[in-house]
């Protein structure tokens, strides 16, 4: 069965999603929405390396892509500074009977954290269109909810579960988000947007609630920590020069507390090095290998850890694409990892022909 997909987004991860989508035999790209008028009217292939011809022409008209009657919308638009607007974008698709899976718009990551007025509109839209909405990706998403929940199977007593991302921003091109949101390239003591106004809690509390739901625990408090480190030489990531002595490493965590003690914790060690081995400070937990890693640590009886590594940015996108068949088959409404049927890749070489 082929699933008809409309895609939104041409940023760093949006382009990855487009490339991977065109490689999936069970997915058919039938529409592509772009925000800026100068990107409209182009073949989608113009946004990909090699400029392949896809026959799909971009548009900045929402009605035009809704009229394509896809099975699902993959929403990769940047929601930074437009979190509520991003959720508004999704509602019109749900009302039209189109399922939505989104990598941004983290505000729909958990029912308890969605503003009540928006939750009422989402519920009404899903009921009207008999459609489903699922927030996914890697973090927040698969690595910090689905993987974390699966990792609890061998546990007996659970004192705390910690989900850690180790990620390089070396190839990330979004300068505003890197500098102003995360604080890269800023002097010691600088408080970026991420560390102000409860944004860490706003972005990542939904994923902690997801895991707490699986544990049967009610979180009654959150505690956020933000800190940075630097090196004594300049670094040149994709978004621009970062001077020596300014933040080249960002560490933060969000602790979900129950009765005064951390039960579910999300931690990030994000950096600007191609290889985290270049960062010599052992102040924080380090990944087992270079590349992007997600580590799940279970403290209790027994205590144990598992770590998933990838040297490819594809890893952040594939959960969004792989969940599409399960999302289409799911009941209507805002769904979480315990609501959606299990999903996996269906792009198997044996179905496509000889091995490469």
Whose CA is closest to 307, among 285, 278, 325, 282?
A: 285
Asked whether the predicted pLDDT for residue 353 surpasses 70, the reply is no
Asked if residues 87 and 105 have their Cβ atoms less than 8 Å apart, the reply is yes
User: In whole angstroms, what is the distance from residue 144 CA to residue 209 CA?
Assistant: 11
User: In whole angstroms, what is the distance from residue 336 CA to residue 162 CA?
Assistant: 19
User: In whole angstroms, what is the distance from residue 46 CA to residue 37 CA?
Assistant: 15
Query: Left (φ > 0), alpha (ψ -120 to 50) or beta: where does 9 sit?
Result: left
Peptide bond into 73 cis (omega under 30): no
Range with lowest mean pLDDT among 22-26, 281-285, 288-292, 332-336: 288-292
167 forms beta bridges with 270
Residue 350 pLDDT: 59
Q: Tens digits of per-residue pLDDT, 2-51?
A: 999 999 999 888 999 999 999 998 999 999 999 889 999 999 999 998 88
Asked whether the predicted pLDDT for residue 356 surpasses 70, the reply is no
User: In whole angstroms, what is the distance from residue 27 CA to residue 22 CA?
Assistant: 7
- Token duo for residue 260: 């005064």
Residue 167 pLDDT: 86
Residue 6, SS3?
strand
- Token duo for residue 8: 């939104």
Whose CA is closest to 297, among 150, 143, 151?
A: 151
Determine which helix (DSSP H) or strand (DSSP E) holds 133, and give its type and residue range.
Answer: strand 132-135
User: In whole angstroms, what is the distance from residue 198 CA to residue 192 CA?
Assistant: 12
User: In whole angstroms, what is the distance from residue 153 CA to residue 161 CA?
Assistant: 12
**pLDDT tier at 172, thresholds 50, 70, 90:** confident
**DSSP codes joined into one string, 292-322:** EEEEEEEEEES-EEEEEEESSGGGGTHHHHH
- Token duo for residue 264: 């579910």
Average pLDDT in the 326-337 region?
94
Mean pLDDT of the chain: 91
Average pLDDT in the 264-273 region?
93
The pTM is what?
A: 0.87
Instruction: Report percent pLDDT > 70 for the chain.
Output: 95
Asked whether the predicted pLDDT for residue 82 surpasses 80, the reply is no
Q: Tens digits of per-residue pLDDT, 89-117?
A: 999 999 999 999 998 888 888 888 888 99
More confident residue, 257 or 84: 257
Cβ atoms within 10 Å of 93's Cβ, excluding its own: 24
Q: Which residues contact 344 (CB under 8 A, 6 or more apart)?
A: 322
Asked if residues 210 and 147 have their Cβ atoms less than 8 Å apart, the reply is no
Q: Tens digits of per-residue pLDDT, 199-245?
A: 899 889 999 999 999 999 999 999 999 999 999 999 999 999 999 99
More confident residue, 159 or 286: 159
More confident residue, 141 or 66: 66
Determine which helix (DSSP H) or strand (DSSP E) holds 87, and give its type and residue range.
Answer: helix 83-95
């Amino acid at each position: 069965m082929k699933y008809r997909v409309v895609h939104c987004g041409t940023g760093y991860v949006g382009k990855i999603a487009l490339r991977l989508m065109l490689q999936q035999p069970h997915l058919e790209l039938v529409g592509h929405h772009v925000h800026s008028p100068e990107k409209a009217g182009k073949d989608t292939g113009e946004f990909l390396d090699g400029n392949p011809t896809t026959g799909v022409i971009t548009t900045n008209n929402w009605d035009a892509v809704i009229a394509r009657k896809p099975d699902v919308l993959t929403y990769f638009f940047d929601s930074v500074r437009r979190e509520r607007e991003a959720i508004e974008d999704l509602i019109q698709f749900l009302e039209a009977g189109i399922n939505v899976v989104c990598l941004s718009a983290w505000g729909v990551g958990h029912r308890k954290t969605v503003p009540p007025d928006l939750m009422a509109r989402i519920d009404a839209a899903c009921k009207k269109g008999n459609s489903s909405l699922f927030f996914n990706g890697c973090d927040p998403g698969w690595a910090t909810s689905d993987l974390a929940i699966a990792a609890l199977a061998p546990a007996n007593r659970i004192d705390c579960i910690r989900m850690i991302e180790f990620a390089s921003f070396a190839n990330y091109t979004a300068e505003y988000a890197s500098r102003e949101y995360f604080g890269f390239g800023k002097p010691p003591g600088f408080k970026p947007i991420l560390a102000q106004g409860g944004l860490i809690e706003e972005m990542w509390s939904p994923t902690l609630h997801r895991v707490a739901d699986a544990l049967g625990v009610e979180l009654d408090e959150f505690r956020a920590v933000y800190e940075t480190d630097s090196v004594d030489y300049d670094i040149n990531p994709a978004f621009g020069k970062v001077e020596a002595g300014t933040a080249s490493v960002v560490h933060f965590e969000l602790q979900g507390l129950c009765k005064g003690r951390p039960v579910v914790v999300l931690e990030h060690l994000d950096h600007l090095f191609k290889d985290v081995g270049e960062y010599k400070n052992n102040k924080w937990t380090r990944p087992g290998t270079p590349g992007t890693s997600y580590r799940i640590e279970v403290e209790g009886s027994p205590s144990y850890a598992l770590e998933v590594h990838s040297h490819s940015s594809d890893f952040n996108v594939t959960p969004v694409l792989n969940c599409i068949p399960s999302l289409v088959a799911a009941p209507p409404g805002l769904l979480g990892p315990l609501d959606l049927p299990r999903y996996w890749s269906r792009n198997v070489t044996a179905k496509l022909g000889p091995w490469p």
